[in-house]
Amino acid sequence: MNTIMKQYILFNPNAGGGSTSEQFENNEDLQIPGFDNEIVDMTAIPSYKEFFGKIALGERVVVTGGDGTMHRFINDVADLNLRIDIYYYPSGTGNDFWNDIKDRETRKLVPLNRYVANLPKVRVNGTERYYLNNASFGIDGYCCEVGDAMREKGAKSINYTSIAIKGLLGGFKRVNATIEVDGMTKEFKNVWLAPTMNGRFCGGGMMLAPHQDRLNPEHTVTLMVMHCPLKLKTLMVFPSIFKGEHIKHTEMVEEFKGHNIKVKFDRPTAMQIDGETIRNVTEYSVTAG
């Protein structure tokens, strides 16, 4: 007699402008032989410890959503010893994680356990959290800050590329930065970007760190610094960031790999962590997994 196991589909009603259980119930990608699906609103789970404690050996969990959903999930379960198979199914609007891994996966239902092991941790403004993709300081934090303000005023669609261009033309004020990477210190002037990347992508498609491998055996992260005193030159180079070709401009872009990263700006600036805006930041530090 064959036993039917449960596959729990966790969805975020706040992802993608409002995900619903109905959009996952008949999704062919989520129909697995031998498993019955149970759709669960992850915002209604009071305790992940209790939730996972009720799951039988051999059953599995699928997390659906975008980067914001994944960021919430990895921090909610950070202290749990998860012994079951967890999968990821991309939905939502921001999918830097999916963009980064899709070339190495054979289907959209992705085994997640190896991707959420050994995650880096960022400390900022007295708090710390794990992150999946990026902790980024500079014009992308500015873009998130402007986008949040537009959304609060009722904007239905946010064009972050347009915001970035306006920021390059004067909306964002460059900063001076001091970085520390595994004990090495270096100073930069006229800094536009200083993200510490666990994956390659940021901001819905910008390949900020094309050489970063989130599964690299050394568990290093990549700090990329873009600096230039000239707005026009930066504006001309900026489009190449979507293909990762900005790193060819070594006179204004430098990469650093390491385990312990610290970035300090000379004035408060917004930053973003997996798409979540943090305001009034003067420094952050990252410890690789």
Residue 155 has a pLDDT of 83
CA angle, residues 158, 162, 165, in degrees to nearest 5: 145
Whether residue 92 contacts residue 106, with contact meaning beta carbons closer than 8 Å, is answered with no
The CATH number of the domain holding residue 48 is 3.40.50.10330
Residue 18 has a pLDDT of 61
Cα–Cα distance measured from residue 12 to residue 73, given in angstroms and rounded to the nearest whole number: 10
Tokens encoding 78: 């950070």
Whether residue 137 contacts residue 127, with contact meaning beta carbons closer than 8 Å, is answered with no
Residue 81 has a pLDDT of 86
Residue 272 has a pLDDT of 92
Query: What b/e readout covers 137-161, taking b as 16+ CB neighbours within 10 angstroms?
Result: bbbbbbbbbbbbeeeeeeeeebebe
On whether both 56 and 188 belong to a single domain, the answer is: no
Residue 91 has a pLDDT of 85
Residue 164 has a pLDDT of 84
Residue 3 has a pLDDT of 75
On whether both 96 and 133 belong to a single domain, the answer is: no
Residue 218 has a pLDDT of 96
The full DSSP string for 21-61 is: THHHHT-GGG--TTEEEEEEEGGG-S-HHHHHHTSPTT-EE
On whether both 140 and 111 belong to a single domain, the answer is: no
Residue 2 has a pLDDT of 60
Gyration radius from the chain CA atoms: 20
On whether both 104 and 145 belong to a single domain, the answer is: no
On whether both 148 and 101 belong to a single domain, the answer is: no
On whether both 166 and 197 belong to a single domain, the answer is: yes
Provide the 8-state DSSP code for 4: P
On whether both 207 and 251 belong to a single domain, the answer is: yes
* Residue stretches of the chain with pLDDT short of 70: 1-2, 16-20
pLDDT tens-place string over residues 100-155:
999 999 889 999 999 999 999 999 999 999 999 999 988 988 888 888 888 888 88
Tokens encoding 152: 């609060």
Cα–Cα distance measured from residue 273 to residue 244, given in angstroms and rounded to the nearest whole number: 20
Q: Which helix (H) or strand (E) holds 2?
A: none
SS3 121: strand
Residues in Cβ contact with 159 at an 8 Å cutoff, skipping those fewer than 6 apart: none
Whether residue 196 contacts residue 222, with contact meaning beta carbons closer than 8 Å, is answered with yes
User: Among 81, 115, 149, which residue terminates a domain?
Assistant: 115
Cα–Cα distance measured from residue 251 to residue 108, given in angstroms and rounded to the nearest whole number: 39
Indicate the number of domains in the chain: 2
Residues in Cβ contact with 31 at an 8 Å cutoff, skipping those fewer than 6 apart: 37
On whether both 68 and 143 belong to a single domain, the answer is: no
Cα–Cα distance measured from residue 42 to residue 60, given in angstroms and rounded to the nearest whole number: 15
On whether both 251 and 283 belong to a single domain, the answer is: yes
Domain range for 38: 5-115
